[in-house]
């Protein structure tokens, strides 16, 4: 029953983590703790670290943190790439040192040594492919083909030139300030890869995420199975122990505290490895789920941000329009003159400033400033904005898996069959 309970808790926590990341900002969950949890996992984590730095190092802490963040995240450098390689290499070494020597065990054959090492190497291969492949750099030779792939929607993208590259900027492309280049269908600049993730290497990035999530899940499951099998083989569950404090005879099954204390003392490295790979698996799987959701919805991370900014601007404009209407009604009812009849918020402000005595009485009936709130439009959510680049699940996936084929097809269809597409 205990392993099932652990599995249920693990699955529940994983689903909650993914749901929070994906839907934490959705209005459907506005009355639940999900928005707060989403904030804590995203912006809140950064604020918390800055606050901790301020407590530990005073005012110099946040400044130092900002410098480190700028060096690691906003300038091209391999520091985080090296960190990933060190983590992967350390985990593989630790499995070879502490877990694999326990094999074979009943129900766990020794071929897990080979498959475990192969899974880590596969993960490394996809990491290198995603890190060193071209993400879809826009050059004078291929800009025409990229311009043919996606039309400007007039909402998020319109015809313009990149000031830095001096090239026409195709729809869905973006200039990466870290790499100093325009990248087609730029999703984001990944500090783990020290490379942009764009049209041409998104498939390798997904393969990297899938292989990392799989190798973490495999490592955690293998660690748990090895601990369980070794405990059973040593007959530890039926072995009597003397309690160090009370001197009583106790069994492991008597309490979870005994189990954890015994595991920590006898299988410390194995337990730490199992927990580490499980925690890493949670995080990577959550991020993978978010990327898959974006692909299904025909969006990129950069577009999600742009749509959020656009929706906020439109919501503010709507709110301003409502305020303007209320002010005009208040002017019309407050000074008894029928108002100016103007439809401009600027004019309304001017009238208020010029005639201080014309300010309406808040106690007045229909002319009160607090009255006609009901006429304000509902605020816009990013999901309410149209997405012209969502071409259906099959096409969205096909563009990720075969980007160069779609690029060539778009260039040919636009009459540029001889244009270079890559």
Using CB under 5 A, list all residues that contact Zn ion: 162, 164-165, 175-176, 178-179, 182, 189, 196
Place of tokens 């998104």: 202
The residue (of 21 and 176) whose beta carbon lies closer to Zn ion is: 176
Least CB distance to Zn ion at residue 174 (A): 8
Output DSSP code: residue 344: -
Least CB distance to Zn ion at residue 88 (A): 22
Instruction: Report the 3 state secondary structure along 49-109.
Output: HHHHHHHHHCCHHHHHHHHHHHHHHHCCCCHHHHHHHHHHHHHHHHHHHHHHHHCCECCEC
Distance of CA 175 to the CA centre of its chain: 20
The residue (of 34 and 138) whose beta carbon lies closer to Zn ion is: 138
CA quadruple 115, 120, 126, 129: dihedral sign: negative
The residue (of 173 and 285) whose beta carbon lies closer to Zn ion is: 173
Report cis status (omega within 30 of 0) of the bond before 90. no
| CA dist., res. 302 & res. 305, Å (int) | 5
The residue (of 135 and 367) whose beta carbon lies closer to Zn ion is: 135
The residue (of 196 and 213) whose beta carbon lies closer to Zn ion is: 196
Cα-flanking dihedrals φ and ψ of residue 185, to 5°?
45, 50
Least CB distance to Zn ion at residue 190 (A): 8
N-term to C-term CA, the chain: 56
| CA dist., res. 131 & res. 253, Å (int) | 48
Contact between 295 and 399 under an 8 Å Cβ cutoff? The reply is no
Phi/psi region, residue 259 (left: phi>0; alpha: psi -120 to 50; beta: rest), is alpha
Taking CA atoms, 389 is separated from 47, 297, 371, 398, 399, in Å, by 34, 9, 42, 13, 11
Least CB distance to Zn ion at residue 198 (A): 8
| Run of H or E residues at 242 | strand 240-242
The residue (of 92 and 165) whose beta carbon lies closer to Zn ion is: 165
Least CB distance to Zn ion at residue 75 (A): 11
Contact between 364 and 334 under an 8 Å Cβ cutoff? The reply is yes
| CA dist., res. 275 & res. 272, Å (int) | 5
Contact between 419 and 411 under an 8 Å Cβ cutoff? The reply is yes
């Amino acid at each position: 029953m205990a392993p099932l309970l652990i599995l249920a808790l693990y699955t529940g926590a994983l689903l909650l983590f993914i749901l929070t990341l994906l839907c934490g900002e959705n209005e459907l969950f506005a009355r639940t703790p999900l928005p707060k949890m989403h904030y804590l996992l995203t912006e809140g984590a950064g604020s918390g670290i800055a606050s901790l730095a301020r407590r530990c190092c005073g005012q110099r802490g946040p400044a130092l943190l900002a410098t480190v963040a700028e060096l690691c995240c906003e300038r091209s450098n391999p520091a985080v790439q090296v960190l990933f390689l060190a983590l992967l290499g350390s985990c593989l070494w630790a499995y070879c040192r502490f877990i694999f020597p326990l094999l074979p065990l009943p129900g766990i054959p020794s071929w897990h040594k080979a498959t475990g090492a192969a899974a880590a190497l596969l993960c490394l291969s996809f990491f290198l492919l995603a890190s060193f492949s071209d993400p879809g750099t826009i050059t004078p030779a291929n800009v025409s083909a990229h311009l043919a792939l996606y039309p400007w929607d007039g909402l998020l993208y319109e015809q313009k030139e990149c000031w830095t590259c001096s090239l026409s900027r195709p729809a869905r492309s973006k200039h990466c300030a870290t790499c100093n280049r325009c990248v087609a269908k730029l999703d984001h600049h990944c500090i783990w890869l020290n490379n942009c993730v764009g049209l041409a290497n998104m498939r390798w990035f997904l393969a990297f995420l899938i292989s990392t999530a799989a190798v973490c899940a495999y490592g955690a499951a293998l660690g748990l199975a090895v601990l369980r099998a070794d405990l059973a083989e040593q007959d530890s569950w039926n072995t009597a122990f003397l309690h160090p404090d009370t001197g009583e005879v106790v069994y492991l099954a008597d309490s979870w505290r005994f189990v954890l204390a015994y595991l920590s003392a006898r299988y410390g490295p194995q337990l730490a490895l199992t927990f580490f790979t499980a925690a890493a698996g949670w995080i990577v799987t959550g991020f993978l789920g978010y990327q898959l959701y974006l692909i299904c919805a025909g969006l990129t991370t950069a577009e999600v941000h742009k749509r959020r900014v656009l929706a906020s601007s439109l919501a503010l404009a709507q709110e301003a329009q409502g305020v303007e209407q209320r002010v005009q009604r208040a002017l019309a009812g407050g000074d008894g003159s029928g108002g100016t009849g103007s439809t401009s918020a600027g004019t309304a402000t001017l009238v208020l400033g010029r005639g201080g005595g014309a300010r309406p009485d808040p106690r007045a009936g229909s002319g009160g400033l607090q009255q006609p709130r009901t006429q304000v439009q509902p605020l816009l959510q990013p999901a309410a904005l149209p997405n012209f680049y969502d071409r259906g699940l099959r096409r969205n996936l096909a563009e990720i898996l075969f980007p160069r084929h779609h690029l060539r097809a778009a260039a040919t269809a636009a009459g540029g069959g001889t244009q270079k597409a890559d």
